[in-house]
Chain A
Amino acid sequence: MNNSVFFGALTVAGLAAGAAAAGTLDDVKARDKLNCGVSTGLVGFSAPNANGEWEGFDIAVCRAVAAAVLGDPSKVEYVPTTGKTRFTALASGEVDVLARNTTWTFSRDVDLKFEFIGVNYYDGQGFMIPKELGVSSAKELDGATVCIQTGTTTELNLADFFRANNISYEPVPIETNAEARQQYLAGACDVYTTDASGLAATRATFDDPSNHVILPEIISKEPLGPLVRHGDNEWGDVVRWTLNALVAAEELGITSANMSEKAAGTDNPEINRLLGSEGNLGEMLGLDADWAQKALAAGGNYGEIFAKTIGEDTPVGLARGLNAQWTDGGLLYAPPFR
């Protein structure tokens, strides 16, 4: 008798769970707040400033999406996630979008059922080593002790690289960037490996940055981008085209300074369509006609955000490199707004 009740309960609970599934876009609008998953602190990308406000390159994506959907870039609830907890947070619905320098890989996209909506930073894994060791290539690292952040794609790339070159190494797994810095500086590991942008950001905090070199080998492709849950295509479209709007705006020469002027109407139809004075792109997304204007007003176009958070004039000091517009020899290429 107990068994039949048990299975009856299973059926009832199953039916109840199936009924609950609404669009994320509606959820966000109803809540009037965007839940955005970010890192626990990586200077330049996402870290709280002295006033406790989150700022950085990934934060700008959250702010732009909140502005496009809710009309106010400050209507964001930032949820700090670690390398371990980030996917659970997104899959469970705790966050609506995850903007946390996450590498777009096949298995994350397909097997973990996420939707990468684009790339906001093209990165690659590099090695940093003290100059005094006299190493000029990663292939000379046979037998070296390597500090590595655990739970990231870098761990797998590292194993692949050393296997492909038939050399050995001793991995020292660590949890956070700060710990890696401590171990590396104390000489407990010879080499520190992570994304090249992370190495640059870490080296910038050393007392003697010039005594450390980043080896020329970039051993992996790390396209970092925001992601959403698989299966909610409308919400995916909103985030994807908000990011595209930031990139396209830079290409089209729309900055936060001249935006209101251009919004009045220009002789370039694509600018008009993007900013909403022509066509009904906003309506198609389920947003206001001036959604892109609001997104751009949150922090400027892609180039402005880059320069403000991680560009060459900031302590992180990254060059545009691969992240320049395609017209400047980079990889940024927003599809047409049509």
Chain B
Amino acid sequence: MSTLTDPPKESFRLSMLIYDTRYRSATIQVVAMIGFMILIGSIISNTVHNLTDLGKEPSFSFLSEPAGYDINQRLLDYDNQDSHMRASLIGLLNTLVVAVLGCITATILGVIIGVLRLSSNWLVARLMTIYVEMFRNVPVLLWIVFIMAILIETLPAPRAFRGDTPEATMSVFDSVAVTNRGVYVPEPLFHNSLGNIHVFGDSALRFDVSLDLMAFLIVLGGSLYASMRIRKWADALQESTGRRPTIWHIRAAVVIVPSALLMLVLGFHLGYPELKGFNFSGGTHLRNSLIALWLALSLYTAAFIAEIVRSGILAISKGQTEAAAALGLRPKRIMNLVVLPQALRVIIPPLISNYLNLTKNSSLAIAVGYMDLTGTLMGITMNQTGRELETVLLGMLVYLTISLLISSAMNWYNNRVKLVER
């Protein structure tokens, strides 16, 4: 008969931190952590100390000083007496505009090209291969500069539109002016405008909310909801009786009529651009710099997205396609109903990083003089105030925030479409 005895209880000794395997890894981690903290601390303190020696204590007070410079493309009101903070905000909005526009066009183009690259048509597939290889293998900065150069050198200057027999004329029923300073398109105007609501008074974050736009969005949202209810009703009817009523004309009317009525009440009309003095005035001015940056970023990123889409489609087992074909589905429906929904699970994660890349690449805007966050906060503001460290840190923080927001939004979407395993 054997008896179990507890091993002798050893009291904790300091040397056990090193020699006892139970504690050793924790000891190593604590030491490494302390070393890391010392390193970071010394870097920070060294920077602060040296800047103080130079008489430049880190300070963000410059943000409230008047900026003094003008910005050509501004989504909110701004003049050169506004603060650097306001100027940075205008720049940030410009960054977001080009990032959002770029992501949308790049996705549409990328999906089309990716699908066409798998086409059984030899010519189409080869053309798409050439497109992908061409855009993917040239730095995006060169594409930006190249497109800008084409826009500037080949399109007519506004002064070419002048005179009785002008060298250039406006296109699309005299409503769109394509010049080497950008494209002027008609803008929506209202005779009986509801006006704006001003938010945040005089602060750097102030902005106006257009009541016309709000009214339009509310009406449109309401009619889309009504249209959805009609479809649900038709679905239910089909389920129960097997007979589907014709509803497309009702749904179209529900969407179009209220919006059109609202437009009529507000006195909707278009403001056309016209040549006045040195430039066109009136209409909306899409500047060259925006167009060049937008196009270049979209075309470049579309090449990557096309490859992601292709790999996603190829990841779906061929059996799925064959099974769908055996059921009598046509190729287009196989793609839309069977392949793409499953391919999305493979496509979305790498797509996120391409959206992030596009957003970060938009900081190349300065090459064509597009006033994004890099151009305002980390460009002119940095130069005029001499606050390199502060502006760059702020800029990094903003880009980090944007990127994290994009990736969390996309991760949420990914979680929704991913395969639910049981």
Contact = CB atoms under 8 A, between A and B. Distances in A.
Interface of A: 2, 5-7, 9-10, 12-14, 16-18, 21, 83-84, 87-88, 91, 107-108, 111-113, 133, 141-145, 150-152, 155-156, 158-160, 163, 169-175, 182-183, 186-190, 229-231
B388 A88 contact: yes
Interface string B269-285: 00000001111010000
A6 B41 contact: yes
A9 B379 contact: no
A180 B152 CA distance: 12
Contact of B152 (A7, A156, A170, A182): A182
Contact of B386 (A7, A112, A183): A112
B350 interface: no
B181 A175 contact: no
B46 A17 contact: yes
Interface string B70-107: 11100000011100000000000000000000000000
B366 A187 contact: no
Contact of A17 (B33, B50, B69): B50
A170 B279 CA distance: 9
A240 B384 CA distance: 25
B383 interface: yes
Contacts of A187: 157-160, 180
Contacts of A107: 384-386
B54 interface: yes
A97 to B, nearest CB: 16
A188 B281 contact: no
Contacts of A14: 45-46, 49
A5 B34 contact: yes
B369 A172 contact: yes
Q: How large is the interface on B (under 10, 10 to 19, 20 to 34, 35 or more residues)?
A: 35 or more
Contact of A143 (B56, B276, B388): B276
Given A172-B369, A173-B371, A186-B152, A84 B55 contact: no
Given A145-B181, A150-B379, A173-B380, 10 more contacts: A9-B38, A17-B53, A18-B49, A88-B388, A91-B56, A113-B56, A142-B277, A155-B69, A171-B72, A172-B369
Contact of B153 (A83, A160, A186): A186
B41 A188 contact: no
A171 B70 contact: yes
B42 A12 contact: yes
Interface string B145-162: 000010011000111100
Interface of B: 33-34, 37-38, 41-42, 44-46, 49-50, 53-56, 68-72, 79-81, 149, 152-153, 157-160, 180-181, 276-279, 281, 288-289, 366-367, 369, 371, 375, 379-380, 382-386, 388
Given A84-B383, A142-B277, A171-B70, A9 B54 contact: no
Contacts of A155: 68-70, 380, 384
16 contacts: A17-B50, A17-B53, A107-B385, A143-B276, A155-B69, A155-B380, A155-B384, A159-B69, A170-B279, A172-B72, A173-B369, A175-B366, A175-B367, A182-B152, A188-B157, A229-B54
Contacts of B37: 2, 5-6, 9
B379 A84 contact: yes
A190 B280 CA distance: 13
B412 to A, nearest CB: 35
Nearest to A86: B383
A171 B367 CA distance: 15
B27 to A, nearest CB: 13
